[in-house]
Structure 1
Amino acid sequence: MSQGNASEKTYQIVSNMNIPKENIEVNYLFTGCGTSYYIAISAARYFQEITGIQANAVPASEIFLHEKQVFTPHKRYRVVSISRSGTTSEIITALKAIKHRENISTLAVTCNSDAEMAQLADDQISLDHISEKSVVMTQSFTNMLYAIQLYAARFAENTEALKELKQVPKLLNENVSHAHVMKDIVQGAKAERFIFLGAGIYNGLAKEGTLKLKEMTQTECESYSNLEFRHGPISIVDEETVVVLFSTTKMSEIDHTLLHDIKNNGGKTIVIGDLATDLTADHVINIGSNLSDEARATLYIPYFQLLAYYQSIKLGLNPDQPRNLNQVVKISLP
């Protein structure tokens, strides 16, 4: 199933959901492990932006290891747990730890409705049409993030956001085909390290771009919020550094000077954004969606996924079976 067709199915599933409305103030907490935690980071930013409700993200292990640092007494929470398999050890342990807390309700977002996580949660968004054989999460990342965006827009009854999100599946198919430009970029790049920069909702995407490259290629790479990169990390930029910058309308002017400084230090730059042609970089990729910064986030995903894929092929590695990794992480927990 193509990315666009999968996202169309995701749109239908969330559109047909019964979304409960809370009568009193509830804090939203998004959680997951690895890639799913990076979804949580972006999802929390989007949810708060669209609904105006406080939303944060923590790794699932923090919920049961440092519960008093995560939850405040006498406040109500909605915990949104995210896991492709629905069987990740930390997610299961976290949900069990809060199962009987009267002030906490739970929502599972998963690609496996039969998994224990889905059964432990009060509600679920199940994307059973997403099936990946690869150890590395790709289509599942895109669709779980998109599903949460749809959930947030429906929760807020934001018709403009829903109108924009409805366009995503078609645009996603178009961008998947355009993203193969990454093959030529990778072939022409001499890089020892990659750095991904993204702010706001795109900070989670920058972290995921880093993880995809690490998983598939074991290449040295890091991620930062755009302006945070100036506060020390820019010192590592040299002629063998490639910086991938996720450009947004809000950050465009700031990114001009940031890109200039990176190039002055010898770094190569790749800019991905909407109508980003006014930014000076070695490679400028225009998504061309005309959607808002928040709505178009999933359209960036194929580019960094294919960057990692083609880099792994270039290095003679198997992108679907990275060393030291399994599709599901299960560990012994107390």
Structure 2
Amino acid sequence: MPTENQFERTGDGEKRDGRGSPNTGSVDRRQLLGIVATTGATALAGCTFELDDDGFEVGFGSDDDPEGDATEEVRGEGNGAADPEGPEGEDDDLDDEGETAEGKMDDPDDEGDDPDDETDESGEEEDDPDGETDENEDEEDDPDDETDENGDEEDDPEPPFSEDCIGIDPTDLAIEEISGGRWRVNSGRSGLLVFDEKDDAETAKAILEHYEFTSFCFVARPDPPMTYWLTDGDAPSASSAPAGGEDCIGVDPTDLAIEEISGGRWRVNSGRRALLIFDEKDDAETAKAIIEHYEFTSFCFVARPDPPMTYWTR
């Protein structure tokens, strides 16, 4: 800092600096900068220099000091914190713009993600064709299902004959005595079979309940040479015989034939065994078709000879 030796007193008591300039009690900025420069001190912008008998003081402008505005102006020019419109303020604006630009740079990144997303969507679209392939595979399976259905139709084709049947309820069977000391098996109010012996009627009732017959069918009524029974529209079958046993003969449904016999009648044979005799050939052919259709393997009787009840099983 400058010392008092750098100033000279004049005759009128004024203090002058080493260059003979009067000191008015305040040193202007240029003088201050020069003094500070000669002393190696750091320049202080916007300060005042006061000289008295003890030395000098450096003061800073305040709100009351008219130069405070200038001081703050310089300070605004120095750090850009006070004046938002100063160059540094513009730098701040640029920084803000830079942040916006970074935000804009994020958008391309997001756009960069979009192709990936599009790739994923493409992948999903690739999966969709797979799904379509699965659907096609399912569609390919459908013909197999149709084949199965056709196979079922081959197993159970529509019968090439019409059937003459009545429905029965195997849970509502009863035996009653009728005129002539005979015994009749009834299903509800419908009479089914008539026997000379009560034991035979009871055997017939036990068989109906065992196989749970639901239909009683005839070929060539009245006085049909062939009767057969069905369970829910199919050939009856059971893992065991009825409690009273059965009277049956074996039948090969793949080895059936019709032959004409004496009296212009027609007989249905299984191999060398005679099964049924009809007056009309058409009835014999119907009987043969029924045996083949239901694949009957047993021909059974109740109370032979001249049995009132016959039935077929598989």
TM-score range, shorter chain: under 0.3
**TM-score with structure 1 length normalisation?**
0.19
Higher relative contact order structure (alpha carbons within 8 Å, sequence separation ≥ 6): 1
The structure where strand makes up a greater share of residues is: 2
The structure where helix makes up a greater share of residues is: 1
**TM-score with structure 2 length normalisation?**
0.20
